[in-house]
Copies of this chain bind each other. A is one copy, B any other.
Amino acid sequence: MSTKFPDKAADPSAPAAIPPRERIVSSAADLFRKFGIRGIGVDAIAEAAQTNKMTLYRKFGSKDELLCATLRQVTQRAGAIWDELEREFSGDAAAQLKRWVEFQVDRLEQEPGGCDLANAAVELRDSDHPAHAVVQEFKNSQRNRLAAVCEAAGSSNPELLADTLSLLLEGARVSVQTSGPEGSSRRFKESCEATIAAFSSR
């Protein structure tokens, strides 16, 4: 192999240097995002990951399980963001909340395709699909972390504030897809600020 692909073997950033499992998850996430879950088959994923269908099935068992793996990867990144907010504004929950809103505004611009997990839930009509459990657990955990920050920030009703902000975010990420960047999502920051102000302790 090393004589056949000398450059790839020498360059650790080359696709072949990344383990097949990670290459498959990364390629699948990318293709699902671009073409939709039903819009892409395992053959195309295997090809994009520079592997074959047999390896894909050996590592994941099924396309459904591969989809769950791509969604779990997204949830891990989201968890890291909360940890970063906590580190950056240690002990200042109001600043964490403010930064959370700004972070989401950036994402609305940079990721007009919306939330991979919400999109998967919308696209998968079958409620028994294993991805639904991954999505639901993730959305609940995000909402609960947000509620904890709202409570620490001294909101008058942290639970309702967290639910309201969660709905605004879910709505904004879908609204970019339904109405484009000039739709209601353009006011997401103002909407959040007005909501946070309405729920501030008086």
Contacts and interface: CB of A to CB of B under 8 A. Distances in A.
A17 interface: no
Nearest to A157: B194
B36 A183 contact: no
A86 to B, nearest CB: 22
A119 B162 CA distance: 24
Assembly of this chain: how many copies? 2
A187 B160 contact: yes
A113 interface: yes
A178 B35 contact: no
A163 B179 contact: no
B34 A36 contact: no
A38 interface: yes
Interface in A6-62: 33-36, 38-39
B166 A168 contact: no
A184 B197 contact: no
5 contacts: A36-B125, A121-B174, A143-B184, A164-B187, A168-B171
Interface of A: 33-36, 38-39, 113-114, 117-119, 121-125, 135-136, 139-140, 143, 157, 159-160, 162-164, 166-172, 174-175, 177-180, 183-188, 190-191, 194-195, 197-199
